Structure 1
Amino acid sequence: MAAGERLFVKVTRDSLPQVKDKYPFLYLERGRLEIDDSSIKWIDCDNNVVPLPVATLNALLLGPGTTITHDAVKTATAANCSVCWVGEDSLLFYAAGFLPTADTRNLKQQIELAADPEKSVEVAKRMFARRFPNAQLDGKSLKEMMGMEGHRVRALYKEKAEKYQVGWKGRKFVPGKFETSDITNRILTSSNAALYGILCSGVHSMGYSPHIGFIHSGSPLPFIYDLADLYKEHLCIDLAFMLTRDLAGRYNKQKVAAAFRERVIKMDFLARLADDINEVLGVKRARSSRK
């Protein structure tokens, strides 16, 4: 895959963020993290050695082919740099390490907003307002707004099916039976999973919790599902119907992943995520660094 088609650039001494940048996260793949004196060094698959400024990072995202020593984990956590294990380009999220010394200001604010019924509904309204810019949401209950969203998504599926001249019998997802779905539903499922992966990594790196939502509840990652609905129309739904037409009935994992990456890169998704989260939560400025 060409460098321009990847979400993240190769880590070198020249591409590392400077101390002044307050970088939210660094993605690494196919290499090893070790200790060099009291700092962490990255040894890539070509044996290039790059010292990492973990004190200036919120999180290390470890992709395929990475290993990390026990001492490297200790050093990262001592610098308040969390560690997440992800798929290639962070398109899947597997696990995260939590820091005993992490800054909890963003998490505390998220909990306070979610615990206050009025403030929680206001956050939900800001999320729905992104999808219904001309709708009058004042006085609407959460249940009513969720009903509006259901109608919008069903209409959107129909609109995209007509636009791309694709047959559509409805959204169907059966856990563990991916292969039995039609091609459009398979693309929707895989692109949704990729979107959740990026969002999990971003939310963790900013010190928020994926488990405290404002619209969704009773699911493993309600805040992730809340945020994902802001981007699904372009990154998942339109993509699924366009690719269904272009793939001519043959699901191709590599082409789906490449097309998803291209859209994420084009909209500069990683750069805008922090601003979007703070906007819907009503936060004036990001607290993107742990101190």
Structure 2
Amino acid sequence: MASGQRLFVKVTRDSLPQVKDKYPFLYLERGRLEIDDSSIKWIDSEKNVVPLPVATLNALLLGPGSTVTHDAIKTATAANCAVCWVGEDSLLFYAAGFLPTADTRNLRHQIEQSADPERSVEVARRMFARRFPDANLEGKSLKEMMGMEGSRVRALYQSKATNYQVGWKGRKFVPGKFEASDTTNRILTACNAALYGILCSAAHSMGYSPHIGFIHSGSPLPFIYDLADLYKENLCIDLAFYLTREMAGQYNKHKVSEAFRDRVIDMDLLAKLALDIPEILGEKRARRNRK
């Protein structure tokens, strides 16, 4: 909790912070989440009790060995704090529960943009423009821009490998065989999964759907994967090669989790999302969810 001083902020029921004002996430494992006098507390495996100010948290990530009461879920969602079920150290993202938004304006806008082929490509073009600021994307098809992105990412991997003097044989991930990957790929997998959890909870909190994408398709969370590609370079890719060198190739999950969390906070990711998502979807600003 040393780096979590920002967690303990007093709020009232009428002044719940917006997504951009919240602490990104808190990961918990091997313990019990329950309520105490209408607030939430965490009881760990050694019976230590930690009060959790969920009104200032964007998401609770519950890892292995976690149990939760019905009232704890009600209290968390009433404070607009997402509850996600994840693998150890957030290596896998399983499921999430959210407070249904009372204001569907953002969701309707997202659906309207996605349903119109021309507007949908324009949204995708705005996303790609952030990765190709000097390129003229006008008139390019989605397929052409995806081809450009594939080449960019492959070159980025190789560039980072060269800069950090780390061996690289390509991106490889086999579900269920995490330990079989090399250190860099393991860090990438862990950071990607944690990023998806944060983005999923933030999108829901702002009234958008993770299931309505503009670039990715045929997957459970296309909009989340669309957004993740905007932030992976610093939060996941650069970090993976940097940590591989720092850890001398020996994977350390605690160092990975701490370093990823630090980068998320340094980037102020939630504040960026509050501005980036509406801009990408062609809105001036996102409306705050009504309680």
TM-score normalised by the shorter chain: which range applies? 0.7 to 0.9
Aligned to 1:16: 10
Q: Structure 2 vs 1, CA of residues 112 and 80 (structure 1 numbering), >3 Å: closer, same or farther? A: farther
The Cα shift of 1:86 comes to 4.5
Given that 1:86 and 1:197 are in contact with CA atoms closer than 8 Å, whether structure 2 keeps it comes out as no
8 Å contact kept, 2:101–2:289: no
SS class of match (1:229): helix
SS where residue 240 of structure 2 aligns?
helix
Mapped to 2, the partners of 1:175 and 1:92 lie a distance apart of: 9
1:254 aligned partner: 254
Percent same amino acid at aligned positions? Answer: 66
Q: With structure 1 as the length reference, what TM-score do the two structures score?
A: 0.82
Superposed, 1:106-185 pairs within 5 Å as: 106-185=106-185
CA spacing shift, 1:31–1:272, aligned 2, 3 Å: farther
Any idea what SS the aligned residue of 1:230 has? helix
Write the letter of the residue equivalent to 1:267.
M
Q: 1:3·1:9 contact (CA, 8 Å) conserved in 2? A: no
Q: Measure how far apart 1:92 and its partner are.
A: 6.3
Alignment RMSD: 3.1
Contact 2:165-2:245 within 8 A present in 1 as well: yes
Residue type of the partner of 1:85?
Answer: C
Q: Distance in 2 between matches of 1:67 and 1:215?
A: 36
Pairs aligned (count): 278
Inter-CA distance 81–161: structure 2 relative to 1 (3 Å threshold): closer
- Report how far residue 144 of structure 1 moved: 0.2
Q: Where has structure 1 moved over 6 Å in runs of 4 or more?
A: 48-53, 57-60, 88-92
Q: TM-score, normalised by structure 2?
A: 0.82
SS of residue in 2 equivalent to 1:95: strand
1:223-261: CA deviations, max 9, x gaps?
A: 010000001111111111111111112111111111111
Query: What is residue 210 of structure 1 aligned with on the other side?
Result: 210
- Which whole-Å CA distance do the structure 2 matches of 1:271 and 1:238 have between them? 21
| Partners of 2:54 and 2:76 within 8 A in 1 | no
Report 1:191-206 matches (<5 A). Answer: 191-206=191-206
Deviation at 1:131, TM superposition (A): 0.3
Of 39, 43, 47, 1:41 maps to 39
Indicate if the aligned counterparts of 2:166 and 2:244 stay in contact, CA closer than 8 A: yes
C-alpha spacing 1:173/1:44, structure 2 compared with 1 (3 Å): closer
Unaligned runs of 5+ in 1: none
Please name the residue that 1:3 is paired with.
2
* Structure 2 gaps, min length 5: none
